[in-house]
Amino acid sequence: MEPAAPSATPTPSASADDGAPSTTTTTAPVSTPGSDYDTATVVLLDANGTELATVDAWVADTWPKQYTGLSDTDALDDGQGMLFVFDGESDRAFVMRDMAFPLDMVFVDADGTITTIHHAPVESDGDLTQYTGRAKFVLEVPMGYTNETGVEVGDRIRIEDR
């Protein structure tokens, strides 16, 4: 039996946003996971091996990091996410505990094949929908990212350390 469902987010560091107008067209997240998180590049590939997208991900590979998830993070840019890494493949359940923004949850088996994609809105009033799937890995990205990049069930991921 799995412990309680992880949240959809990790404890971030203090905000780097000083309120000054941005001089570029990209924006940094208001808060991000702390420096105690390893990072990895997750390459999303279609069934033919064609690259669809790349995600710079914080790695949640311990129970405390998995439980916290992105809960204290204010936002993610496209191309940013969190990769949950478990010891083995199993049925998993995630919730949107204390989330400030909606997510796509991408469940991936031990062979790197995407088994399930959930589009999870922000929960209200303490209601926690369980998003389930069979996975060794779960990739969380901003809601709509999988649709925008054409990622679907049956596609694959490749994880590259940074």
pLDDT tens for each residue of 4-29: 344 554 333 333 444 444 333 334 43
Query: In Å, how far from its chain's centre is CA 161?
Result: 16
Q: Which CATH superfamily is domain 39-161 in?
A: Protein of unknown function DUF192 (2.60.120.1140)
What is the pTM for the complete model shown? 0.80
Gap between the Cα atoms of 109 and 55, Å rounded: 18
CA atoms within 13 A on the CB side of 130: 7
- Please classify residue 162 by burial: count the beta carbons closer than 10 Å to its beta carbon, then call 0-12 exposed, 13-18 middle and 19+ buried: exposed
pLDDT digits (tens, 9 = 90+) for 76-132: 998 999 999 999 999 999 999 999 999 999 999 999 999 999 999 998 877 799 999
